[in-house]
Structure 1
Amino acid sequence: MSQGIEAADDLAPEIRQFHEAINSGYAAHPPQPGQTMADRRQVAERVRAPWAAGGPAMARTDELRVGPRGVRIRIHRPVLDRGLPSLLYIHGGGWMLFSLDTHDRLMREYAARAGIAVIGVDYSLSPEAKFPTALEEIVSVIDWLRQDGAGAGLDPSRIAIAGDSAGANMAVAANLLLRRQAKPLLDGMLLNYGAFDHAVTPSHQRYGGDGYMLNSAEMVVFWDAYLRGPADYEDPLAVPLRADLQGLPPAFLAIAGCDILADGNLSMAAALRAAGVPVVANLYEGASHSFLEAVSISPLADRALTESATWLARRLGRTCG
């Protein structure tokens, strides 16, 4: 997920620096003949690795396989208190790329700033695993947390969900699937520059070319890899902006101003409000898609993380760290 050689002038300076570093990283690993999906993912891991390093130290980190599907999870705990509330974090990457490792710092930032356990979900990627496989895996982790989380020292009654980009899509969809299964919904949704609809909007036209972190052509590929066929493009579990949103948990949306998905995020905030859902929607001017990953150098990313973590801590009954 990278674009032109230079970043656009309307980005904050540190976000522009982030873009240039990402672009340089991909330029050092140009596509090769016969490149496989596994090769693409390996390159993405290398390019993103410096941005996942550093940050808060955890009191404890565990990796487990849970539930009947054996989904791998990573649990970050900032303190060793028992009964910590939890945030399930669903990483982005167009349903095709990235991992618990690329988003490790982001998860630790939330754990430290909100004083909660953060559980990263290693869901199956597309195109090998099509919709709704990853979504069902996420809900299976929620089921495990509710049934067995106390045994892992977590509070099964205080659970929020978060994600960025494709992960934010699935964070909303997980609640929709829980509702369809007549299960209790979660306590909050933290949605970072989510991919909530595939419709082309003015923000696609404004930010969809070279110079920004995500372009319109990439999104077409991502949706096509994730969905099984034409019917899925209308399925509200795949396209949550088209769902009945009534009764969903309160939401915090971190919206990047210089992002092809900006309009879709503003529409999601409006649709949630129209459905009676409490919403905080913060628009970060000068921010691009993926800007939170630049927290090591970006005051804008730091502010967005602090604001969302403060909201999250209140939702889960914690004092911010």
Structure 2
Amino acid sequence: MTDVKDSDVASAVAPIDPQIAEFARRLAAAYATCGQPASLAERRQMAESVRQPWRSGGPVMAHTQDLTINGLRARLHRPQPATDQPSPVMLYLHGGGWVLFSIDTHDRLMREYAARAGIAVLGIDYSLAPEAKFPVAVNEVVGALAWLEAGAAGLGLDPTQLFIGGDSAGANLAVSACLTRRDNGQARLAGMLLNYGAFDPAPTASYTLYAGDDHTLNVEEMDAFWSAYTDSPAQLTDPLVAPLLAQLHDLPPAFLAIAERDILADSNHAFAARLRQAGGEVEAVSYAGATHSFLEAVSIAPLAARALDDQAAWIRQHCTAPAHG
């Protein structure tokens, strides 16, 4: 594990971690058995099915509550029984290129954060592209945060200890929501947890280095995601689409989990550097041998478990009072 201090990618790159490689192999094999989807609906159902083994098991919650937030399906996990002490809470946004996945595919990941950090974790099914293009999902995330702040007391949650997190496209939405809140004059959140985020569509050296079939995200797929999310190529330079291009001052403290062997690695290093240049508090950790989506391999990969523990410790450090439980 290397604490990243600038935007340079280390020249000596570790081979793919064996358990992460097994995760990627199993994913590829599962997709191969499904055949070629005939529609986007079938592709989404296939993705849900393929991810099913990886979302299962893991921490058991004291309470799980299914909710509807501004018309969106949502799920709130609590690792410990409620007490008189309101709990810190994180809104977690699943990845999937703005096109795939759900609170179901990422259910275990949300429960892992809840259990390891001792906080409540809320996930939402934001509207997917290409049916809902930018800025629909950003606005939905901003609305969900406002809903949480307004109703936190009734749910036993602490609105002053509100975190946001996400992976890949979810990390993109998390930053864009914080940028929107800042520009709207809303309160700064307690922290941003950003996992292998999609921060800029511009290709970099890592696109060439880590585009092989043994990785879990390829260039063609990522380009298609950017295209599905936006109405036109001109939108790809909008700072709320590509947060690397934004003015990054006055954002919450950030933890970036960077997968070393990821086509998005360079933009994650660059984003961490730009946050620091803007005066932000940043902890960016590059996980050697990790590929995109590696945290979902936590059931078999100690590397994923270590990264989750690092993040849980960071969350606890940024809570203004101890989490209950």
TM-score of the superposition, structure 1-length normalised?
0.94
How much does 1:319 deviate? 5.6
Higher relative contact order (CA 8 A, sep 6+): 2
Indicate the residue corresponding to 1:205 in structure 2: 208
Equivalent position SS for 1:223: helix
Indicate the residue corresponding to 1:31 in structure 2: 36
How much does 1:109 deviate? 0.3
Indicate the residue corresponding to 1:177 in structure 2: 180
Query: How far apart, in 2, do the equivalents of 1:70 and 1:152 lie?
Result: 18
Question: Structure 1 counterpart of 2:20, which letter?
Answer: I
Indicate the residue corresponding to 2:287 in structure 1: 284
How much does 1:209 deviate? 2.9
Per-residue CA shift, 1:190-228, capped at 9, x if unaligned? 000000000100000101232210000001100000011
- 5 Å-filtered alignment, 1:9-20, equals 10-20=15-25
How much is the aligned-residue C-alpha RMSD, in angstroms? 1.4
Indicate which of 195, 199, 204 corresponds to 1:196: 199
Give yes or no for the alignment of 1:71 onto 2:72: yes
Query: How far apart, in 2, do the equivalents of 1:61 and 1:81 lie?
Result: 12
4+ runs of 1 displaced by more than 6 Å? Answer: none
- 8 A Cα contact 2:31 2:46, kept in partner: yes
Indicate the residue corresponding to 2:296 in structure 1: 293
Indicate the residue corresponding to 2:144 in structure 1: 141
Q: Give the total of aligned pairs.
A: 310
Per-residue CA shift, 1:167-207, capped at 9, x if unaligned? 00111111001112221121100000000000100000101
Indicate the residue corresponding to 1:5 in structure 2: none
Query: How far apart, in 2, do the equivalents of 1:128 and 1:181 lie?
Result: 27
Indicate the residue corresponding to 2:4 in structure 1: none
Question: Structure 2 counterpart of 1:31, which letter?
Answer: Q
Query: How far apart, in 2, do the equivalents of 1:52 and 1:106 lie?
Result: 7
Alpha-carbon spacing, 1:320–1:302, altered in 2? closer, same or farther (3 Å): farther
Question: Structure 1 counterpart of 2:274, which letter?
Answer: A
How much does 1:318 deviate? 3.1
- 8 A Cα contact 1:169 1:195, kept in partner: yes
- 8 A Cα contact 1:135 1:173, kept in partner: yes
Single out whichever of 83-92 and 179-188 deviates more from structure 2. Answer: 179-188
Q: Which runs of 5+ in 1 are unaligned?
A: 1-8
Equivalent position SS for 1:203: helix
Indicate the residue corresponding to 1:81 in structure 2: 82
Query: How far apart, in 2, do the equivalents of 1:17 and 1:179 lie?
Result: 41
Q: Which runs of 5+ in 2 are unaligned?
A: 1-13
- 5 Å-filtered alignment, 1:152-301, equals 152-301=155-304
How much does 1:71 deviate? 2.1
How much does 1:320 deviate? 9.8
Indicate the residue corresponding to 2:5 in structure 1: none
- 8 A Cα contact 1:127 1:226, kept in partner: yes
Query: How far apart, in 2, do the equivalents of 1:236 and 1:185 lie?
Result: 18
Give yes or no for the alignment of 1:318 onto 2:305: no
- 8 A Cα contact 1:113 1:320, kept in partner: no
How much does 1:293 deviate? 0.3
How much does 1:230 deviate? 2.6
- 8 A Cα contact 1:97 1:125, kept in partner: yes
Single out whichever of 42-51 and 146-155 deviates more from structure 2. Answer: 146-155
Alpha-carbon spacing, 1:158–1:148, altered in 2? closer, same or farther (3 Å): same
Indicate the residue corresponding to 2:116 in structure 1: 113
Give yes or no for the alignment of 1:128 onto 2:131: yes
Alpha-carbon spacing, 1:166–1:85, altered in 2? closer, same or farther (3 Å): same
- 8 A Cα contact 1:12 1:287, kept in partner: yes
Alpha-carbon spacing, 1:213–1:320, altered in 2? closer, same or farther (3 Å): farther
Query: How far apart, in 1, do the equivalents of 2:59 and 2:218 lie?
Result: 31
Aligned identity (percent) is 55
Equivalent position SS for 2:34: coil
Alpha-carbon spacing, 1:163–1:320, altered in 2? closer, same or farther (3 Å): farther
TM-score of the superposition, structure 2-length normalised?
0.93
Equivalent position SS for 1:155: strand
Indicate the residue corresponding to 2:11 in structure 1: none
- 8 A Cα contact 2:87 2:323, kept in partner: no
Query: How far apart, in 2, do the equivalents of 1:318 and 1:237 lie?
Result: 33
How much does 1:31 deviate? 0.5
Indicate the residue corresponding to 1:21 in structure 2: 26
